[in-house]
Chain A
Amino acid sequence: MTAVRILAALLLKQAELVRSSDFRVHRVVGDPFLQLDRLVEWPVDEILYLELPSSGSWVASRLDTGRRMGSTEVRGSVLVDEVARRCRVPLAWGGGIRSLADAERLFAAGVDKIVLTTAAATQPELVSVTANRWGSQAVCVGIDYRLVDGLPVTYVDSGQTPVRGSLAERIRHAEDLGAGELLLHAIDRDGAATGMDVSTIAEVLEISSLPVIALGGAGSPGDLADAAQLNPGAVAASNLWHFSELVAEAVRREFSRRSLEVRIL
């Protein structure tokens, strides 16, 4: 077995780092750069920024970072440029990507991989065009889902709009378009810390031979290890990184305790 990646998902809303639950409730937990600067010194295997849709507005400024809250401008450059400049681990970016120009902008900044969720359903050609130009490994298709009567129903528009077709059909579609990875995001476990949805993760790994990032529900290192035992490409958590002390080391220890491979530093 090869080492499963341990991935930090950082959620941005109006350029502020937030903690999220159920894709609806977002609370600002801090500055996106301060957290990044901690994480890149840790044994975190990859960082994924997800931009959530903005609603409402607020105006404030932070003297410590020279950044206007809610603004993507930071010292004359945009947020993604600054993130990519500081990020010394692999960087993935998703949320609101709707055009080739959007993708181009992110890759030019130094993003390694983009995540297309809504666009994969509403303008699938963007997946294939991106894969042809930057390679499949640079395109991850996001699949957001809820369990309804025990069956996965997939959504777009940040969990607002259900999508027709089964989970298996959406996965096949992503594969046919040339996606190189899947981000499987359990909406009803977002911010719940109730453990990861191992049965749906296992189902997806059965259907697809692509690497899969499992996200949603991890409230402890043990929760991540439960999903890692299925041998997906990566296990991810968001809130866990903000509130636990030395969590990367704790996750690695838990993996080792269960004889799961971790990155040799």
Chain B
Amino acid sequence: MARVILPGVGSFGAFMRALTDNGFVDALRAATLTKPVLGICVGHQVMAELGTEGGTPDGLGLINARCVGLRALGVAKRVPQIGWRVIEARDSKELPPFFSVIRGRSAFFCHSYALDSAPQSSVVEVDYGVRVIAGFTSGNVTGVQFHPEKSQRVGQDFFAAWLRATE
């Protein structure tokens, strides 16, 4: 197995229970040591230490973050956030190619929760009244809140760049 992709759709608590009950948790943690891992939507959220959807379930704990409701992050607009939003860089640091190729273009978001912090390395954000984490990459682990598989050409460009970057 060369790479691991952990896709959505799901609720944090139910998703973690399914991973735990099927014995995936240790395998996923081990995989991050040697293989590129990409989480999408809830697959990105469960990389946090814990969530607040469906109780306060433990996450995989791959990054130092929590997954909290958009309201708790200060979002005043309609929740869930459902729509196409522009991917923006958090700061002037250089982005990996799979983020730079989609920067300034729109990807599809559909979520009520988001990470409250992300590793300092490379972070992209989305402006939904307040800035919300749209994706991060740190070592082998990359997570995206948006749905590249539903984002037409933008998503295809993201996947192509991620596959090249992790060859």
Contacts and interface: CB of A to CB of B under 8 A. Distances in A.
Interface of A: 2-5, 40, 45-46, 87-91, 107, 112-113, 131-138, 180-181, 209-211, 233-234, 263-265
Contacts of A46: 108
B78 A211 contact: yes
Interface residues of B, number: 35
Given A88-B150, A88-B155, A90-B147, A136 B106 contact: no
B9 A135 contact: yes
B62 interface: no
A148 to B, nearest CB: 28
Contacts of B12: 135
A263 B106 contact: yes
Contact of A113 (B10, B110, B112, B152): B110
A89 B14 contact: no
Contacts of B73: none
Determine chain B's interface SS by DSSP, over half rule.
mixed
Contacts of A87: 150
B11 A132 contact: yes
13 contacts: A88-B151, A88-B152, A89-B150, A90-B147, A112-B110, A112-B150, A134-B11, A135-B42, A135-B113, A136-B80, A180-B112, A210-B80, A211-B78
Interface string B84-112: 11100000000000000000111010111
A39 to B, nearest CB: 11
- Considering residues A4, A87, A133, A265, which has the most beta carbons from chain B within 10 angstroms of its beta carbon? A133
A112 B83 contact: no
